[in-house]
Homo-oligomer: A and B are copies of this chain.
Amino acid sequence: MPYFDAASSAPLHPVARQALLAALDEGWADPARLYREGRRARLLLDAAREAAAEAVGCRPDELVFTPSGTRAVHEGISGALAGRRRAGRRLIVSAVEHSSVLHTAGAHEADGGTVTEVPVDRTGRIAPGAYAAALREAPDGVALACLQSANHEVGTLQPVAEAVEECAAAGVPLLVDAAQSLGWGPTEGNWSLLTASAHKWGGPAGVGLLAVRKGVRFRTVQPADERESGRSPGFENLPAIVAAAASLRAVRAEAAAEAERLRGLVDRIRARVPELVPEVEVVGDPERRLPHLVTFSCLYVDGEALLHELDRAEFSVSSGSSCTSSTLTPSHVLRAMGVLSEGNVRVSLPRGTAEAEVDRFLEVLPGVVADVREHLGAPKPAEAAPGPDPDPEPELVVDSLGKRCPIPVIELAKVIGEVPVGGLVTVLSDDEAARLDIPAWCEMRGQTYEGERPADRGVAYRVRRRA
């Protein structure tokens, strides 16, 4: 049963399981105590910290263990902002950071701070010089900048080394969220803070990493606590910490070979999906990307139905489509990239994924997409292609109010052939995803998107037929 959602949570690495079991027996006592059980726990904790620090590329006393990657992000950002409060209250982030970073930025704004969001291109990558520009244009003092090493939804690698230099030139610390990449290799460049999450590399849940380089101003905003240099309060989750460090070392030892192998499989998906499935957009940078992750969006497809059908076919994947989120808004990453969000599928292969599983996925996918499209009454490729104009109206309004993604786009596709070339179709929609998906459909289908206008209810999206 192929599990293709390693970017959410990787299956536990055998080394993690083994280390966790050993540490359950040896590492349950309080490492702050002086008796033998405590000393044994302390030795395990120290050894885990050294191993993890080596993999991260920092000193052991620069690294603390947190209860999750999310908490590492919260505590890293809030501590750096508090430590540099005199320098200013502006935080710079990219528009495609993990929600834990953006939510911390939101909390900072609610607390009176200011935030600059650096845009990305259609591949999800920030432009070279983008952080330098954000720093230059900041109207107030910048306390901290954050940048992910690689995007969690589309796999695009960010130019971290350049951003480090741009921030260093401005004297601003850079926090790198390395959650998606740390298992594959260290983050290059002299970053100031780094965060990561063990269950993303095959370690256990319950462990995040927060590295703060010596010399970086940092002031914990948590209540005082003696554990983890005061930077991560609470009794250490030692067995899981030991397992996290051991598995990080193990996945790193296998990383080069496994990355090459998975890159080949992902290349196959990237090449074959658009051949096998009509009306698909593969998103993310095709070269500068994580080895194991690929994302594509299928026109006229409901993401939730697609996931459900793939699950019935025994493939576990995730999606950035609005209908799969609790808020019914499309992924902020896809939105920032300006790409289609409907029928979105993220495939992230865990280590050890067999070639046959990928081949079977490629066999199953076209039928699944076709079934979902048929069920939704999506236009067939032949239908969707504009036919001869049948007594054309110069303008046409489609009322999609109350209908959810992908229905508004399906209805648009069905009527575009009914206006003459040069004619206008206006889609009325109150679905958030339409704002992203109607322009994306135009770009994919060679139609002209003429922008949106307010309407009595919802929004009027205007599309001019070009061919």
A235 contact set on B, CB distance < 8 A: 9, 68-70, 197, 199, 205
Q: Does A234 belong to the interface (CB within 8 Å)?
A: yes
B240/A71 in contact, CB under 8 A: no
Closest residue to A234 on the B side, CB-wise?
B68
A237 contact set on B, CB distance < 8 A: 67-68, 204-206, 237, 240
A24/B17 in contact, CB under 8 A: yes
Can you list the 5 inter-chain pairs with the closest CB atoms, starting with the nearest? Answer: A68-B234, A67-B67, A206-B237, A35-B316, A70-B234
Closest residue to A204 on the B side, CB-wise?
B239
A324 contact set on B, CB distance < 8 A: 34
Q: Which residues of chain A in 1-50 are interfacial with respect to chain B, using CB atoms and an 8 Å cutoff?
A: 1, 3, 5, 8-9, 11-12, 17, 20-21, 24, 28-30, 33-38
Pick the interface stretch among A103-111, A361-369, A389-397, A419-427.
A103-111
Bound complex: CA A70 to CA B228 (Å): 13
Give the copy number. 2
Tell me the A residues contacting B by CB distance below 8 Å.
1, 3, 5, 8-9, 11-12, 17, 20-21, 24, 28-30, 33-38, 67-71, 74, 99-100, 103-104, 106-107, 197, 199, 204-206, 208, 222-226, 233-240, 304, 307-308, 310-311, 314-318, 324, 326
Beyond A34-B311, A237-B240, list 7 extra A-B contacts (CB 8 Å): A5-B33, A8-B30, A17-B24, A34-B304, A36-B316, A71-B233, A206-B240
Once A103-B225, A235-B205 are accepted as A-B contacts, the answer to whether A9 and B34 lie under 8 Å apart by CB is no
* A67 touches which of B33, B206, B314 (Cβ 8 Å): B206
Bound complex: CA A222 to CA B108 (Å): 11
A206 contact set on B, CB distance < 8 A: 67, 206, 237, 240
A223 contact set on B, CB distance < 8 A: 74, 100, 103-104, 106-107
A208/B226 in contact, CB under 8 A: no
16 pairs of residues in contact across A and B, judged by CB atoms under 8 Å: A3-B29, A3-B35, A5-B30, A8-B30, A20-B24, A33-B316, A34-B311, A35-B316, A67-B237, A68-B234, A68-B237, A70-B233, A106-B223, A106-B224, A204-B237, A240-B240
